[in-house]
Structure 1
């Protein structure tokens, strides 16, 4: 009986797929956006928390009426969260989705037994 190295339909070697140049390029593209944006947001968030904890006078500075700097910065946390989400969706739609769909197609072909991993 002779053994062959063809893939069994339905079996995908995901570790092997992760090592392919196509997957590595997709992951690099995704990380090139996510990591800098996460660092930016964490710095912005902790700056807000630290200002609230240690710069009471600054945060209590009135801007207009009963609205102070602390309230505006707190509201900006929500604004930046939604803005980052919108930027990521636009980035993913323009830069990631086509490559991800191609990779998904490759994986589905392997699962159907039409291609090798």
Structure 2
């Protein structure tokens, strides 16, 4: 079987379309969350910096901005882990099914 015939069989496979649809939906959702958090943080920095300069407690040198920034980083790591969970789980199974069906 030629490469172009194999690629065409993959493109016509319903499980391939399901894989692409699910992977795209998850990637877009996670990207919107991360970008929304990051750009929201940047908008606060630009337009309301006093919010982030506020001390966490009376006499504290630690400001609200530090845990907020750290939370954005941690959320990004967690969302990356979530994507990896799906990529190595359900998406990988769909990928294996597509390869198995195309090569039969």
Task: Verify same fold: TM over 0.5.
Answer: yes
**Aligned residue number for residue 95 of structure 2:** 100
Distance in structure 2 (CA, Å) of the matches to 1:39 and 1:92: 18
Deviation, structure 1 residue 75: 1.1
**Aligned residue number for residue 36 of structure 1:** 29
Match of 1:18 among 3, 11, 19: 11
Aligned length: 101
When the two chains are superposed, the root-mean-square deviation of aligned CA atoms in Å is 1.9
In the alignment, structure 1 residue 72 sits paired with structure 2 residue 67: yes
Q: Structure 2: 5+ residue runs without aligned partners?
A: none
**Aligned residue number for residue 91 of structure 1:** 86
**Aligned residue number for residue 51 of structure 1:** 44
Distance in structure 2 (CA, Å) of the matches to 1:105 and 1:23: 12
Normalized per residue, the structure richer in strand is 1
Deviation, structure 1 residue 20: 2.5
Taking structure 1 as the reference length, the TM-score comes to 0.73
> Higher RCO, 1 or 2 (CA under 8 Å, sep at least 6)?
1
Moved more, 47-56 or 91-100: 91-100
Q: Structure 1: 5+ residue runs without aligned partners?
A: 1-6, 110-114
Question: Over alpha carbons, which structure has the higher Rg?
Answer: 1
